[in-house]
Homo-oligomer: A and B are copies of this chain.
Amino acid sequence: MSGIADVARAAGVSKSTASRALTGRGYVSEHTRSRVRDAAERLGYVASTNAASLVTGRTHNIALIVPRVNRWYFGSVIEGVERSLISAGFDLTLFVAEPDSRDRESLYAHFLARKRFDGVLAVALEPDDDDIERLRDYGKPFLHIGNELPGITTLGVDNFVIGRMMTEHLLTLGHTDIAFLGRTPPSEPSARDVDDRSAGYLAAMTEAGLAGSARLEPATLTLPDGYAAAASLLADRTSRPSGIVAACDEIGIGTIIAARRLGIAVPAQLSVVAVDGHDYADMFTLTTIEQDPAAQGEEAVRLLLEQIAGADARPVRHSAPARLVVRASTAPPAHTLAAV
């Protein structure tokens, strides 16, 4: 394990010259530079980031805070972030902690306080999250992937618009009895993204003069729970809606599976629209509003690195794209067809 002193000696120059040659900061003659480079190569020299950080204050390391790993959305974001970080020469330190959990507390008290990173990326923060202020006050570049948050730079899809788009898709097809499936159950911490989606749904229903028949059914954002919730919602054929707006693809897929098991034909007797663009959506021919969380992760890294490099750091909202992909889980309602 050779240090820069060894490299300098091997190249016949001083430590300072070696440092300049290797980092590219400061004047070094072309000839010297290449000699130093060769020596470094030969010795297998790799700079100690620790030592460098100690003096420069830069760590080439980003902290990423996610509530969970094992969920499609978060996993995709992590992959996107990691990918662009590594190609930028940065390390990724991962923290997993649900908002308001005990882990969260120690995270802020001990880990982030060490400031062993140049910037922070957080995913799916809630507006009332105490941590937001703390993160902002660390004074390091900080960016949120998820909904808009006051005072900080954020990146994400517009969930209100998405809720509305999903609903309007069904309305346009002629549905009038449309339920929203995936409202956060009372037992769970509230989630802003879901709330915004359901708000979009309600707005669209209201505009269509259907406020009276709007209903928000609870379910957590998982396939099994979506399945269970759909199964109980669809069990009673008299109250069954003709269209379901699902809070995410996992719920949408759970709904499709539940419908099949109950002998309800999709889309003939039931239309299902969801949002995400999950890997499984195509297999279940799910009509969905696709977003690209990996791309959001990459874009977030780009923006964060810009800030680290000194770009303007005023809080901005960056809107991530989302587009409707129509598959075979949505169609006009049965009575419409009958009328034709």
Q: Considering the chains assembled together, what is the distance between the CA atoms of A280 and B70 in angstroms? A: 13
Chain copies in the assembled complex: 2
Q: Considering the chains assembled together, what is the distance between the CA atoms of A93 and B86 in angstroms? A: 12
A70 touching B76 by the CB < 8 A rule? Answer: yes
Residues 246-261 of chain A, each 1 if its beta carbon lies under 8 Å from chain B, else 0: 0000000000010010
Q: Considering the chains assembled together, what is the distance between the CA atoms of A61 and B53 in angstroms? A: 16
Among residues of B, the one whose C-beta sits closest to the C-beta of A116 is B49
Tell me which of A209-217, A221-229, A303-311 binds B.
A221-229
- Residue A29 interfacial (CB < 8 Å): no
Q: Find chain B residues with CB under 8 A from A94 CB.
A: 78, 82, 92-94
From B47, B49, B69, B111, give the contact of A86 (CB < 8 A): B111
Among residues of B, the one whose C-beta sits closest to the C-beta of A73 is B70
From B59, B82, B95, give the contact of A50 (CB < 8 A): B59
Besides A46-B113, A70-B75, A83-B96, 5 new A-B residue pairs in contact (Cβ under 8 A), listed by A number: A78-B96, A86-B95, A89-B110, A91-B93, A92-B94
- Chain A residues within CB distance 8 Å of chain B: 1, 46-51, 53-54, 59, 61, 68-72, 75-76, 78-79, 82-83, 86, 89, 91-96, 103, 106-107, 110-111, 113-116, 222-224, 227-228, 257, 260, 279-280, 282-283
